[in-house]
Chains A and B, each alone.
Chain A
Amino acid sequence: MEGPTPASALIHAATMVAAGTAVLALLLPVLALAGPARWLLALATAATMLLAALLAVGQTDLKRLLAWSTVSQVGVMLAALAAAPPPDASAGPGLLHLFAHALFKSLLFLALGWLGVLAGGTAARALRGTAWSVPVAGAGLAVGLAALAGVPLLVGGVSKEHVVEAAWEAASAGDGPARLVVAALLVTVVLTAVYATRALLVLTDGGVRRAPGAAPEPHAATVRVSTPPVVPAVVTALAVLTVLGGLVLLTGAFDVPGFSAVWALVTLLLVAAGAGVAWWLARGGDLADRLPAPLVAAADDGLGADRAYLAVVARPVVALARLVAFLDREVVDGYVAATGLAARAAGALGVRASRPERPSVGLGLVAVGLLCAAVVGVLAWS
């Protein structure tokens, strides 16, 4: 999320997200045979999509909101794989959602990054009302957020509807993981609509409507950034793809069940409910401002996951490393150094023992040495 805009678009939309899902989709025949693994994946993805969607609602930074929405949407893709039951498991719905997500998420990141450059930051406060000042970016964001929420006929709506429908079919056939996935999916659809609506309301906040560049943030850009023509072109192209992307189903590239009007209606109702809730809660402002401050802080903090990793993994490992360095220096090498010291001490003792005025000691030592050599020789011979 801290990366520059193109890197964010690439990471969140295409490369890293695609890698995990694509590999798991290829391994689906194996996964389908492993019941416990499917349960684990279903539990993990259900928790991921719900938690990440909740965190997205409370983010004070819109780019971070998009980042959390990626986490949630990847949960949706993987949940589609977890909900595919054994006999003829199909990765189609999950891969279709991966395809859809790549389109609308890259659109969202690029358009939001564009506004962010003009407004001097991607915080919700800095971006408030900026959608009107750059109509192309604003329209792109509106289309992208609608697709993210899952409005039917847009690419995101088509794919999400198929994921839900496929999971429902498996669940109604009595498949355990699929039931869990369906329940989590339906809640996530509502939550996704909530945070997508929240972002849209912030960006189009009419009450504040003002030109970008006059942002209240102290670090706001004072230089007007000129926009090269390729930027609106890219955003427009991605927006068109987001609207028309659902047509990819006509090519038959994805193995998905047919269109179901019932599920389209259900998702539409859920999306409308989520959007309504968000609109009602926001009451003309930012939804996150209406939430209790500690909740927002916890969301911005990602529930402290980073600090937990630092405390549970990073610090102990570094402490262990220090211990190893100490052991290496003082204990392992200590034996080596001690050998040297012992040899020197033995030498000093030998010097003391074999003074010229006491030749008998020297003779005794030679005799002992000969005896040792003889014993070794006899033993080795036999």
Chain B
Amino acid sequence: VVLSLLVLVPLLVGAALVAAGGRLGVDTARPVAAGAAAVTALLAVVAAVARPALDLPWVPELGVRLHLGVDGISVPLLLLTAAVGVLVTAHAWFETPTGGAPATFLGCLLLVEGAALATFTARDAVLFFVAFELVLVPMWVLISRFGDPHDPAARTAAAQRFVLYTAVGSTLMLVGILVLVSAAGTTDLARLATGAGAAVPAGTQTVAAVLLVLGLGVKVPVVPLHSWLPPAHTTAPTAGSVLLAAILLKMGTYGLVRLPVASVPAGMDRVAPGLAVVGAVGVVWGGLACLVERDLKRLIAYSSVAHMGFVVLGLASGTRTGLQAALFANVAHGVISALLFVLVGGLKVRWGSVDLARPHPALRETAPRLGFLLVLGVAAGLGLPGLAGFWGEFLALYAAWSPADPAHLPVLRASAVVAALGAALAAAYLLRVARSIWLGDPRADPAVRVVEPPAGAEPVRTPDTRGVEQGVLAALAVAVVVLGVLPGPLLSVTSDAVAAVLGGGT
């Protein structure tokens, strides 16, 4: 009951809000959406503690069941999704983008959240795919209707690219799922993980693993399948960027753990070296792209590519440590990038653009609270020990140094070295951000506290953060620090489930 409510509350309220559209005023829509998100968060906590399950026949002819369940791998993501849902609906009080009815905007946020929750609780491969696809449409609406109001053409292009790119990836994934399911004879993820998948002949396993990794790699995203992400992040509204970074990307890695890693161990073992290489390349590629990127939102999007490279590297190691690292880095990246996107989205609202090449007044002078949070986010992003970003990356490198399959040792060690270099790049590009935004540019006079306006425009003030925005930022900042100082609870939640995933496979 809890699980069905958990998924249904955001989906139904979201659908109702979208259906109401323009007839519902913003003052009604906001409390309704926030209330639904809060109820969902409570249900998520209950689900995380009680670990209920729901199992109903759905399409009996194909053996597909409506099977929802919770285990150690889904609990952190469930809580992350529910918490981010609350934060983005609360953030609507600070920023409700123009471009459509506020109820539609909030409804789409809830639909994304509900579908993501369904993805993370699905215990059936086909149900997983359906939930995975369900996210696309509301996300497309968020980007194409509610995105950056300054540039409609870029908005449309980004939204179309997002939908088509990820839909192609999903199609590959669907083919992979069908290959796997038809060979194994069951769609149940638990049975696939505990032997039904491993019994499939090795050749078929490899085919399924390649298809699944390619399909899910689009969503993660893995270089070179990442080029939908920067435009989508750049044009999406703040709440959309947060959902993209904190939830959608996680669905990709979650899928990788659930489907190829758990179900087709032999196939995954063959794919692992390639996956490790693209992971390491992603770390360096994303870092280098960040080093010369001018648009701050795009920069953070590319840094997501780099961070997900570490996640992929951890997965490729095939060890318990690696899987744990991947899951931890997943959650940490969700929190850190949510913090950075809320910050940068706020700056974009204040300044109109976040071009690093334009001189900005020192944020530490004009808006000290925003400045502090920016420095915290940047420090977490570059993997400073004591903040959330450190453990996932450190453990991923550690795991890649001693992979499960000794045959992959040289490739994975080389990847680990390259990825460690990428971590140095992260320091370079994030300190560049801190210098440009936090220390500011002496050309922009801090005394007047304005951004130098583009020709003919009014000077823009930089009011410090307060109210709802400050609350959202503070919650994320606390999460960043807590995850960094106390990584133990999260790691212990995932450890048993990870052991089950790997133990069932090998």
CA A317 – CA B292 in complex, angstroms?
10
How many chain A residues touch B (Cβ–Cβ < 8 Å)? Answer: 12
CB pair A336–B288 under 8 Å, yes or no, is no
CA A332 – CA B291 in complex, angstroms?
18
CA A317 – CA B427 in complex, angstroms?
14
CB pair A321–B224 under 8 Å, yes or no, is no
Within 8 A of B (CB), among A324-382: 324-325, 328, 332-333, 336, 340
What are the 9 closest A-B residue pairs judged by CB atoms, nearest first?
A321-B291, A321-B288, A324-B288, A333-B227, A321-B292, A332-B224, A325-B292, A325-B289, A322-B292
Determine whether B435 belongs to the interface, using a CB cutoff of 8 Å to chain A. Answer: no
Query: Separation in Å of the B396 CB from the closest CB of chain A?
Result: 22
Q: Is the interface of A mostly helix, strand, loop or mixed?
A: helix
Query: Separation in Å of the B433 CB from the closest CB of chain A?
Result: 14
Contact residue among B161, B285, B291 (Cβ-Cβ distance under 8 Å from A336)? B161
By a beta-carbon cutoff of 8 Å, the part of chain A in contact with chain B is: 317-318, 320-322, 324-325, 328, 332-333, 336, 340
| B165 contact set on A, CB distance < 8 A | 336
29 contacts between A and B (CB under 8 A): A317-B288, A317-B291, A317-B425, A317-B428, A318-B291, A318-B292, A321-B288, A321-B289, A321-B291, A322-B292, A324-B285, A324-B288, A324-B289, A325-B288, A325-B289, A325-B292, A325-B293, A328-B227, A328-B285, A328-B289, A332-B223, A332-B224, A332-B226, A332-B227, A333-B227, A336-B165, A336-B227, A336-B228, A340-B164
| A336 contact set on B, CB distance < 8 A | 161, 165, 227-228
Most interface-central of B227, B228, B428 (chain A CB within 10 A): B227
Most interface-central of A320, A321, A322, A332 (chain B CB within 10 A): A321
| A322 contact set on B, CB distance < 8 A | 292
CA A318 – CA B288 in complex, angstroms?
8
Find the B residue at minimum CB distance from A324.
Answer: B288
Find the A residue at minimum CB distance from B305.
Answer: A328
Find the A residue at minimum CB distance from B160.
Answer: A340
CA A322 – CA B292 in complex, angstroms?
6
| B291 contact set on A, CB distance < 8 A | 317-318, 321
CA A229 – CA B54 in complex, angstroms?
74
CA A328 – CA B299 in complex, angstroms?
13
Q: Mark B417-447, 1 if CB is under 8 A from A, else 0.
A: 0000000010010000000000000000000
Query: Separation in Å of the B80 CB from the closest CB of chain A?
Result: 29
Query: Separation in Å of the A330 CB from the closest CB of chain B?
Result: 11
CA A317 – CA B421 in complex, angstroms?
12
CA A320 – CA B425 in complex, angstroms?
12
| A321 contact set on B, CB distance < 8 A | 288-289, 291-292
Q: Mark B218-235, 1 if CB is under 8 A from A, else 0.
A: 000001101110000000
Within 8 A of A (CB), among B220-271: 223-224, 226-228
CA A317 – CA B422 in complex, angstroms?
11
Find the B residue at minimum CB distance from A333.
Answer: B227
| A333 contact set on B, CB distance < 8 A | 227
| B227 contact set on A, CB distance < 8 A | 328, 332-333, 336
CA A328 – CA B291 in complex, angstroms?
13
CA A318 – CA B293 in complex, angstroms?
11
| B226 contact set on A, CB distance < 8 A | 332
Find the A residue at minimum CB distance from B230.
Answer: A328
Query: Separation in Å of the B125 CB from the closest CB of chain A?
Result: 18
| B293 contact set on A, CB distance < 8 A | 325
CA A321 – CA B422 in complex, angstroms?
12
CA A328 – CA B306 in complex, angstroms?
14
Find the A residue at minimum CB distance from B224.
Answer: A332
Query: Separation in Å of the B384 CB from the closest CB of chain A?
Result: 15
| B228 contact set on A, CB distance < 8 A | 336
Find the B residue at minimum CB distance from A329.
Answer: B227
Query: Separation in Å of the A156 CB from the closest CB of chain B?
Result: 33
Most interface-central of A320, A322, A325, A340 (chain B CB within 10 A): A325
Query: Separation in Å of the B182 CB from the closest CB of chain A?
Result: 8
Query: Separation in Å of the B427 CB from the closest CB of chain A?
Result: 12
Query: Separation in Å of the A319 CB from the closest CB of chain B?
Result: 10
Most interface-central of A318, A322, A328, A340 (chain B CB within 10 A): A328
CA A363 – CA B226 in complex, angstroms?
39
CA A82 – CA B293 in complex, angstroms?
44
Find the A residue at minimum CB distance from B421.
Answer: A317
CA A317 – CA B285 in complex, angstroms?
12
CA A325 – CA B288 in complex, angstroms?
8
| A317 contact set on B, CB distance < 8 A | 288, 291, 425, 428
Query: Separation in Å of the A312 CB from the closest CB of chain B?
Result: 15
CA A340 – CA B227 in complex, angstroms?
14
CA A58 – CA B278 in complex, angstroms?
50
CA A324 – CA B224 in complex, angstroms?
12
CA A322 – CA B289 in complex, angstroms?
7
| A332 contact set on B, CB distance < 8 A | 223-224, 226-227
A320 with B164, Cβ < 8 A, contacts A325-B293, A333-B227 known: no
| A328 contact set on B, CB distance < 8 A | 227, 285, 289
CA A321 – CA B287 in complex, angstroms?
8
| B285 contact set on A, CB distance < 8 A | 324, 328
| A320 contact set on B, CB distance < 8 A | 288
CA A265 – CA B225 in complex, angstroms?
71
Query: Separation in Å of the A380 CB from the closest CB of chain B?
Result: 8
Query: Separation in Å of the B473 CB from the closest CB of chain A?
Result: 29
CA A320 – CA B292 in complex, angstroms?
10
Find the A residue at minimum CB distance from B428.
Answer: A317
CA A320 – CA B226 in complex, angstroms?
19
Query: Separation in Å of the A72 CB from the closest CB of chain B?
Result: 27
CA A324 – CA B288 in complex, angstroms?
7
Within 8 A of A (CB), among B74-99: none
Query: Separation in Å of the A32 CB from the closest CB of chain B?
Result: 24
Find the B residue at minimum CB distance from A328.
Answer: B289
Find the A residue at minimum CB distance from B168.
Answer: A339
Within 8 A of A (CB), among B140-186: 161, 164-165
Most interface-central of B164, B165, B224, B228 (chain A CB within 10 A): B224
Query: Separation in Å of the B248 CB from the closest CB of chain A?
Result: 18
Find the B residue at minimum CB distance from A323.
Answer: B288
CA A320 – CA B284 in complex, angstroms?
11
| B292 contact set on A, CB distance < 8 A | 318, 321-322, 325
Query: Separation in Å of the A316 CB from the closest CB of chain B?
Result: 11
| B425 contact set on A, CB distance < 8 A | 317
CA A339 – CA B173 in complex, angstroms?
19
Query: Separation in Å of the A16 CB from the closest CB of chain B?
Result: 16
CA A322 – CA B227 in complex, angstroms?
16
| B224 contact set on A, CB distance < 8 A | 332
Find the B residue at minimum CB distance from A336.
Answer: B227
